[in-house]
Amino acid sequence: MAKRLKFYGWGYENTGLTDAEREHLFRFVVNHLGVEPVAAPPPQASDIALRAPRVAAPPSLAHVLTSEPYERLLHTYGKSYPETVRALARDFANAPDLVALPATEAEVAAALDWAGGAKVAVIPFGGGSSVVGGVEPAVGDGYAGAVSLDMRRFGQVLEVDATSRAARIQSGIRGPAIEAALKPHGFALRHYPQSFEFSTLGGWIATRSGGHFATLYTHIDDLVESLRTISPAGAMESRRLPGSGAGPSPDRMMIGSEGALGVITEAWMRLQGRPRFRGDAVFGFPDFFAAARAVRAVAQAGLYPSNLRVIDNDEAGAYGVNAYEESLLVLAFESADHPVDAWMARAVELMQNSGGRRHVDEGAASRWRTAFIRMPYGRELTVPMGVINDTFETAITWDKFEAFHGAVRKATEEALKEATGHAGTLSTRFTHVYPDGPAVYYTFNVRGDPTRLIEQWTHIKTRASDALIAAGGTITHHHAVGRDHMPWYRAQRPDLFGKALAAAKHALDPAGIMNPGVIVP
């Protein structure tokens, strides 16, 4: 039997934290949040009474549309904190009426054509790993119903152009399958978001994903050579070129559109050779700003390491990387073509010039990498305990960084107390770095009131988001906009751009059925 994703949490059914990971998590919530661990059984599909579908599949689409309960549950929520709270509370009031599982572009087009005529909202669905409310079918009463359009059957690497180092890849394929298919050809896409195991190429493109290679090719934008999209108004395909100055880019309009303009079905993606040469190092710094200065020096030297990540001592301690004694900087170089010793040697000089102490081994980097990949599994354990936790992300120019960091930390710490009466914890990391600034991520954990978790979370996120916008940062660096970030996104974007985007949506989606409420008004 094929593995199934959980409809209420992270990963596949019957998977989760190991005993050792659970023990570490429980120690953290007891010692730092004053919360006693409790065991709560996860929801079962049989526990949940779903609303009867408000619309029925037409006979011509009976093989594409399903109302099977597990599929409707799976497609109700992404992985944001409020969605997890509601899923664990067995609240699936916004479950889609139907789930579409097309296998061809003709079936995608037919589903959109029917939905447009029936005034049914359509929400494209990749792996369901959205953490900003991007896939929930919360469409209001202006629609006859809602369909979640799952692209899992578009799961192939169709063509590899070894000469140009590019591949034509269907949008529903998940990260591990992409790498497995490219490996025999000697290539890799090497785009690794935290959700890599469970997210899809189409999802990465639709949300402007950032992969965890820290410099140079960080965003999916850099890897897209051309796109093919099916919109309610028809198919749109961009030309496959290494670059073009022929006016505004059609690819750029679809990258980051979050399913509001159409359904991405395939893309030509730029590839990289599989790395043969690698160098790694870990450094300890006495304070976070010293580590930030080292990062800036490396970024502005044009060395472009594959990994350049800073974890402050609060985050390092919280995830068991060290005992809260120093901020850590993880550095790595890799190449498919040449040794990286010279690049590493210069980066080490810059680290040491900023006060970095090189570790004798890379054990801390390995511990962090494991904790980072595994941390999403913890939420289904901590939510029943009344723990509120989330990560919010931003990017800021170097000249504003230190003042920005102080303002955001202050606002968030105040918000934790205001919302819950408890101090909680707040930690920081750099995940991506640019010559003109860092991408800064903040993680908070606090004891909440189990009857008011979403209300309290909303207060904290609102105060933090207001502060980072006021201090000059962006509302999101690579987690997309979704519904959670829409008020701030709309406030940031130029009015004329909003009107132009709305006009583009009307041209591509005249009936307004595509993921309403996300990206465009």
Distance CA 236, CA 230 (A): 6
Distant-in-sequence, close-in-space partners of 90: CB < 8 Å, separation ≥ 6: 43, 47, 48
CA atoms of 433 and 132, how far apart (whole Å): 22
- For residue 142, CA distances in Å to 11, 120, 511 come to 33, 9, 11
Nearest Cα to Cα of residue 491 among 464, 460, 513, 465: 465
Helix then strand then coil, % of the chain, to nearest 5: 35, 20, 40
d(CA 75, CA 7): 8
Rounded Cα distance between 521 and 502, Å, is 7
Pair type for strands 98-100 and 145-150: parallel
- Within a 13 Å sphere around the CA of 365, how many CA atoms are in the beta-carbon half? 19
pLDDT for the residue 214? 73
| CATH class label, 386-480 | alpha beta
Domain ranges of the chain: 165-273, 277-374, 386-480
pTM > 0.75: yes or no: yes
Q: At 173, phi and psi to the nearest 5?
A: -80, 140
Residues of the chain with pLDDT under 50: none
pLDDT at 520: 86
- Rounded to 5 degrees, φ, ψ at 158 are -85, -30
> What is the number of residues in the chain?
521
What is the model's pLDDT at position 217? 87
What pLDDT is attached to residue 213? 81
Amino acid identity at 296: R
Find all residues with CB under 8 Å of 311, minimum gap 6, and list them: 321, 327, 328, 329, 330, 368, 427, 429
Distance CA 86, CA 94 (A): 11
In this structure, CATH architecture of domain 277-374 = 2-Layer Sandwich (3.30)
Options 3.30.930.10, 2.30.30.100, 3.40.50.300, 3.30.465.10; CATH of 165-273: 3.30.465.10
Q: What is the 3-state secondary structure (H, E, C) of 104-127?
A: CHHHHHHHHHHHHHHCEEEEEECC
State the number of CA atoms in the 13 A half-sphere of 448 facing the CB.
Answer: 28
Do β-strands 357-358 and 277-285 pair in parallel, antiparallel, or remain unpaired?
antiparallel
In this structure, are residues 319 and 276 in contact, taking their beta carbons and an 8 Å threshold? no
Residue range 156-198, pLDDT digits in tens? 999 999 999 999 999 999 999 999 999 999 999 999 999 999 9
CA gap 296, 398 in Å, rounded = 8
What's the CA gap between 149 and 145, in Å, rounded?
A: 13
Residue 188 buriedness (CB in 10 A; 0-12 / 13-18 / 19+): middle
Q: Which two tokens stand for residue 434?
A: 């640019």
Q: How far is residue 454's CA from residue 237's CA, in Å, rounded to a whole number?
A: 41
Using CA atoms, how far residue 302 sits from 39, 150, 216, 305, 347, in Å, is: 50, 41, 9, 9, 10
- Which pLDDT value is given to residue 39? 86
| Number of alpha carbons in the 13 Å side-chain half-sphere of residue 309 | 27
Phi-psi region for residue 97, left (φ > 0), alpha (ψ -120 to 50) or beta? alpha
φ/ψ bin of 515: left (φ > 0), alpha (ψ from -120 to 50), beta (otherwise): left
- The torsion angles phi and psi of 46, rounded to 5 degrees, stand at -70, -15
Separation between Cα atoms, residue 137 and residue 516, nearest integer Å = 9
Start-to-end CA span in the chain (Å)? 42
